[in-house]
Chains A and B, each alone.
Chain A
Amino acid sequence: AQSVAQPEDQVNVAEGNPLTVKCTYSVSGNPYLFWYVQYPNRGLQFLLKYITGDNLVKGSYGFEAEFNKSQTSFHLKKPSALVSDSALYFCAVRDSNSGAGSYQLTFGKGTKLSVIP
């Protein structure tokens, strides 16, 4: 079974400071990992993904994430936070060993990021 955990319900960071939103996962095969962002009253928007290759993945709006197989983590990072980054962030995983035809993404509970001016 695949699962994902976001250990922090909320992260507060000052504008201009680096931010990290944490995510850990559990799969039986290889993980396909994703980050999505949700702004108030909106649907989720895709930010970035890791399928294979370079462990550092760059995505939209200056975000990046680092895949760490030994720690089973996929933390989202940004060097300098903006007030407009304030939103709900979701990590998601799909197990490469999920059955044929099974394309479910399992989402974490979400982390609310607040960037303080």
Chain B
Amino acid sequence: DAGVIQSPRHEVTEMGQEVTLRCKPISGHDYLFWYRQTMMRGLELLIYFNNNVPIDDSGMPEDRFSAKMPNASFSTLKIQPSEPRDSAVYFCASSPAVAGAPLNEQFFGPGTRLTVL
């Protein structure tokens, strides 16, 4: 398996623009997680899905952020409008289920480095 795939790897945009980050989880994994990593705040969980359904989005910072998972092999994280403070590395991770719960050995993608000017 190719592992978790994220695109783009780097994104530079201007304040106010819409940004869409994409993730393809490992085939067969039931859980998908979106994280944000910054120097100041470390690694933060934004939202996670189970079988394409959002389970906990309490980490989503504002209404400007939205995430979808239309099918088992694709998820998007959208920021609209983007702001300079959104600059960070965004990671997608997936995990298989064991007895209905994620294994917690999450498999991370390479991340998308977002810069908002």
Interface of A is mostly: loop
The 8 A-B pairs at the shortest CB distance, nearest first, are namely: A43-B108, A107-B43, A109-B42, A44-B108, A46-B105, A103-B102, A43-B110, A43-B109
Number of interface residues of A (CB under 8 A): 20
Q: Mark A43-74, 1 if CB is under 8 A from B, else 0.
A: 11110010000000000000000000000000
Which of A41, A45, A49, A108 contacts B108 (CB under 8 A)?
Answer: A45
Contacts A34-B105, A101-B55 supplied; 20 other A-B pairs, CB < 8 Å: A41-B111, A42-B111, A43-B109, A43-B110, A44-B43, A44-B108, A46-B105, A101-B56, A102-B56, A103-B31, A103-B101, A103-B102, A104-B48, A105-B45, A105-B104, A105-B106, A107-B43, A108-B42, A110-B42, A110-B43
Does B93 sit at the interface, judged by CB under 8 A? yes
Instruction: Contact check, B104 vs A94: say whether CB atoms are below 8 A apart.
Output: yes
Does B4 sit at the interface, judged by CB under 8 A? yes
The closest CB in chain A to the CB of B105 belongs to: A46
Within 8 A of B (CB), among A75-117: 90, 94, 101-105, 107-110
Does B34 sit at the interface, judged by CB under 8 A? no
Instruction: Contact check, A43 vs B104: say whether CB atoms are below 8 A apart.
Output: no
Q: Given A103-B48, A107-B43, are A32 and B110 also a contact pair (CB < 8 Å)?
A: no
The closest CB in chain A to the CB of B108 belongs to: A43
Instruction: Contact check, A32 vs B104: say whether CB atoms are below 8 A apart.
Output: yes
Which of A41, A103, A109 contacts B104 (CB under 8 A)?
Answer: A103
